[in-house]
Structure formats: C-alpha cells, structure tokens
Amino acid sequence: MEKIELKPSDDICEHSDLSLPDVKRLMITEDAAERLAELFKALGDPTRVRLIGALLHRELCVHDLAELLDMGQSAVSHQLRYLRNLRMVKRRKSGKTVFYSLDDSHIEQIFMQTMQHLEHA
C-alpha cells in the first residue's frame, strides 16, 4: 500500500491529540477492507442469512435446506456455493448426500453478535 503524507491544513481539528500517521498505520489494509466488504455483502442477502441461520442449529443437506426455506434445491445450491467460496460454510459428503455446516465459530459469532445488536437497537 502506498504511503500518503498528510500536509498541515487549516482544516485540521485543533483539539485532536491523535497523530494521523499513527492512526493511518493502524487502519485496515485495502485488501482486508475488500474481503470484509465481501463478507458483509454475503450477509446482505436475506436468503443467505436464512441459510446461515438454519446452519447455526445443525449440519443440513441441500434437500433439508430447500424444504426449510421453501426454495428449489438448485437455488439453495447456488447460494451455498457462494457462501462456500467465501469460506462461510463448508461441506461434507456422505455417500451421494452433501451436508453443509458453518465453516467455523467466527461465522456463528458474527451472526449472533449482529442479532444481539439488532435486539439492542
């Protein structure tokens, strides 16, 4: 990432005791910001949120998820592929059946903390 030097300006807040270069050094990288935005984009779709909400409770196959969400299996599979590419869900094959679950506890934590925030507001 290219370093940007900040020039003194009359617009700088006189009451700030922060060193902007120090804050800039601590900021999220451009790459991390893009990956984080992609994760939140995934959570911006109600169908994907409902899929994650169902998988919070247990591992489920595409058929069961389609039944729970009242959707076609191909539409559910498409959304699961999107979530899998972002490492939000993982799959496990047992014979011909593919089961999906949350990729790790971080996804559950993000989901649950967001729900708590909504209840708090």
Query: Could you tell me what percent of the chain has a pLDDT over 90?
Result: 77
pLDDT grade, residue 120 (50/70/90)?
A: confident
In angstroms, the CA 45 to CA 120 distance is 22
- State pTM to two decimals: 0.79
Antiparallel, parallel or unpaired: β 89-94 and 97-102: antiparallel
pLDDT of 22-57, one tens digit each? 888 899 999 999 999 999 999 999 999 999 999 999
Query: Which has more confidence, 15 or 87?
Result: 87
Mean pLDDT of all residues in 98-112: 96
Task: Give the contacts of 93 (CB within 8 A, at least 6 positions apart).
Answer: 99
Whether 8 shows a pLDDT value over 80: the answer reads no
Instruction: Supply the pLDDT for residue 24.
Output: 86
